[in-house]
Amino acid sequence: MTHRKTLRNELLVGFHILDEEGQNSGIAGHLTARVPDEERLLGHRYGYSFDDVRADDILEAGFDLDTGTEDRVSPSLAFHVSIYRSRADLGAVVHTHGFHALALGAAGEDFRPVYQSALMLWDRVRPYDRYDGIIENHEVGLRMADALGDGSVLALRNHGIIAVGRTIPEAVCAAVIYEENCAIQLAALAGSDLVSLGGPEAEQARAFLSSDRVFAMRWNQLWRNAARTRPFLAEAA
């Protein structure tokens, strides 16, 4: 299987994992993959939601977002390009508007890991409290890339998140775990003072949870779960 084919298959699965996990975001969410060693990316057809996406809806475009056809990707992918140009280590970018991520930010709270799996994001979440309106230019993308730095998640206050990874599974898993933690954190805040995790043990857990082996197991479990109601995902194996 060619590398592009692998990326296309993983993107298809990633869109449907995010949908299954409650991060559809309607027509406003994105998931892209960088084509290695080229200024090109793969994304989905403009105006489609994650659950709409099928293999034929995954498009390739240059970093100028030109697909070379009448089909279009979202002009908001400009900020994905800015992040890719700023971070040579990244292979995928997710942007979603998860309910709990939005609620946590709107409440003025910062992300704090409150359960073990969320320690994969220990000290990897960066805040972004500025609202930039509809993002369709590289200037805003560069600002976001600078705020993200070497992090894994940029928490966009009142907007959503940007999650990144070396691979599609890493970026998707980061988005899923972030949203899960936000849900638990909000529930805990409603009932009592928050007790979060940290310290040397958190660093040890992050190293374990961020390993290729654990990412692969988590990704495959999420894939199996999404495929139970979407048999076409089996063809992406």
- CATH class as words, domain 3-229: alpha beta
Residue 58 forms beta bridges with which residues?
A: 44
**pLDDT, mean over the chain:** 94
Residue 136 pLDDT more than 90? no
Residue 237 pLDDT more than 80? no
Q: Is the pTM of this model over 0.85?
A: yes
* 21-76 pLDDT tens trace: 999 989 999 999 999 999 999 999 999 999 999 999 999 999 999 999 999 999 99
Q: Which of residues 136 and 201 earns the better pLDDT score?
A: 201
pLDDT at 105 (0 to 100): 95
Q: How far apart are the first and last CA of the chain?
A: 11
Q: Which of residues 138 and 33 earns the better pLDDT score?
A: 33
| Domain coordinates in residue numbering, the chain | 3-229
pLDDT at 222 (0 to 100): 97
